């Protein structure tokens, strides 16, 4: 989006069309390259308002797309949103399906604060979730019908190719997955099967299942990993722009 469009969006969303001294300060932030979502302070994700005051990864439209597909399939049961960032994935699920229980986990303290803020803004009943600080699965001690994951997956070698607004403003720990981008994906796939419920539970009639986001260039490697770790079924899917973007594993 160009700066003019961003400026008019900012004016409409944050200042109800009335430019003030604060608005002009915010325009300076845009000119310095800060992402418009941080300047506005929130974004929309599948009908949820996602506050971004603690500067988690800004939810992406590609993620919104596959989570929308996953929501159609998940009609109840226990879910884990791991690598949760702002909490957008778990919160969208909790808001759109009242029968779902969803634990939401991240390693970053700032993200945990952000997740709690967003659960409150979206009025999610406290009985339906737990927010868990965990280094990947280390502090997770339950089994789930569905696990939804958007791990950091950008190869460090692509650092110089990222837009300045991303590299200068978004959290590095949300972006990079080691030299080949697969550091977290490898660890996640290796362990995730131990955190899935046995297939017989009623709630997971269509599960247990893992939904995971990745970059299209990683598809082949990911297929190898999924097979290596002994999962039986896998289904790759494209995003709304035609790129391989997510995989459903059971
Ligand atoms: C790509 S972001 C995804 C955020 C959010 N789920 C979304 O889709 O917008 C990845 C997240 O993984 C978290 N993360 C990084 N290292 C982690 C670790 N070792 N254990 C758990 N979470 C980690 C980061 O803090 C970040 O919030």
What CATH number should be reported for the domain whose range is 59-249?
Answer: 3.40.50.150
pTM: 0.96
Instruction: For ligand 1, atom 6, name the residue with the nearest CA.
Output: 84
Lowest mean pLDDT among 52-61, 78-87, 156-165, 194-203: 194-203
CA of 83 to the centre of ligand 1 (A): 3
Residue 56 Cβ inside 6 Å of ligand 1? The answer reads yes
Question: What pLDDT does residue 23 have?
Answer: 97
Ligand 1 centroid–CA 174 distance in Å is 5
pLDDT score at 201: 57
Q: What is the rounded CA–CA span in Å between residue 27 and residue 33? A: 10
Q: Look over the chain and give the mean of its residue pLDDT values, rounded to a whole number.
A: 95
Partners of 132 in the β-ladder: 105
Task: Verify whether ligand 1 is closer than 6 Å to residue 63 (CB atom).
Answer: yes
Q: What is the mean pLDDT of residues 59-76?
A: 96
Closest by Cα among 154, 226, 221 to 190: 226
Nearest CA to ligand 1 atom 11: 83
Q: How far from chain centre, in Å, is Cα 176?
A: 14
**Residue-wise burial string across 132-155, b where 16 or more C-beta atoms lie within 10 A, e elsewhere:** bebebbeebeeebbbbbbbbbbbb
Q: What is the tens place of the pLDDT at every residue in 94-104?
A: 999 999 999 99
Ligand 1 geometric centre to CA of 152 (Å) = 6
Confidence of residue 205 (pLDDT cuts 50, 70, 90): low
- The closest-lying atom of ligand 1 relative to the alpha carbon of residue 56 is 27
Q: Tell me how far the alpha carbon of residue 17 lies from the centroid of ligand 1, in angstroms.
A: 35
pLDDT above 60 for 203: no
Residue % of the chain over a pLDDT of 70: 97
Q: What is the pLDDT of residue 154?
A: 98
Q: Using only the alpha carbons of the chain, give its radius of gyration.
A: 18
57 lines ligand 1 (CB under 6 A): yes
What is the distance of C-alpha 139 from the center of its chain?
19
Q: Which of 170-173's residues contact partners 24+ apart within 8 Å by CB, and which partners?
A: 170/35, 170/55, 170/57, 170/58, 171/55, 171/56, 171/57, 171/108, 171/110, 173/107, 173/108
Arithmetic mean of pLDDT, 177-183: 97
Q: Where are the domains of the chain?
A: 59-249
Residue 114 reports pLDDT greater than 70: yes
Q: What pLDDT does 1 receive?
A: 75
Of 113-122, 170-179, 191-200, the range with the lowest mean pLDDT is 191-200
Q: Whose CA is nearest to atom 1 of ligand 1?
A: 152
What per-residue confidence (pLDDT) applies to 206? 66
CB of residue 204 inside a 6 A radius of ligand 1: no
Query: Could you give the percent of the chain with pLDDT greater than 90?
Result: 94
Is the shortest distance between the CB of 118 and ligand 1 below 6 Å? Answer: no
Contacts of 117 (CB under 8 A, 6+ apart): 51, 53, 54
Question: If you measure from the C-alpha of residue 82 to the centroid of ligand 1, how many angstroms do you get, rounded to a whole number?
Answer: 7
Cβ(77) to ligand 1 under 6 A? no
């Amino acid at each position: 989006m160009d700066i003019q469009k961003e400026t008019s969006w900012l004016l409409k969303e944050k200042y109800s069309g009335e430019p003030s001294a604060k608005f002009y300060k915010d325009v300076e932030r845009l000119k310095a390259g800060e992402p418009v979502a941080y300047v506005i302070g929130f974004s929309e994700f599948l009908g949820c308002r996602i506050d971004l005051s603690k500067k988690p990864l800004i939810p992406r439209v590609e993620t919104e797309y596959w989570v929308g597909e996953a929501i159609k399939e998940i009609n109840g049961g226990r879910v884990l949103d791991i690598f949760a960032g702002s909490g957008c994935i778990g919160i969208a699920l909790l808001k759109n399906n009242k029968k779902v229980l969803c634990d939401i986990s991240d390693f970053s303290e700032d993200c945990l604060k952000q997740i709690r803020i967003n659960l409150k803004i979206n009025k999610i009943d406290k009985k339906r979730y737990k927010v868990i600080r965990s280094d990947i699965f280390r502090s997770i001690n339950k089994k789930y019908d569905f696990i939804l994951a958007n791990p950091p997956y950008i190869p460090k070698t692509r650092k110089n190719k990222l837009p300045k607004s991303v590299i200068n403003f978004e959290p590095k720990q949300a972006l990079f997955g080691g030299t080949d981008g697969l550091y977290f994906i490898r660890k996640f796939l290796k362990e995730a099967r131990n955190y899935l419920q046995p297939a017989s539970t009623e709630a997971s009639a269509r599960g247990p299942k893992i939904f995971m986001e990745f970059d299209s260039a990683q598809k082949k490697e990911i297929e190898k990993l999924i097979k290596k770790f002994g999962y039986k079924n896998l289904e790759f899917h494209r995003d709304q722009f035609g790129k391989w973007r997510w995989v459903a594993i059971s």
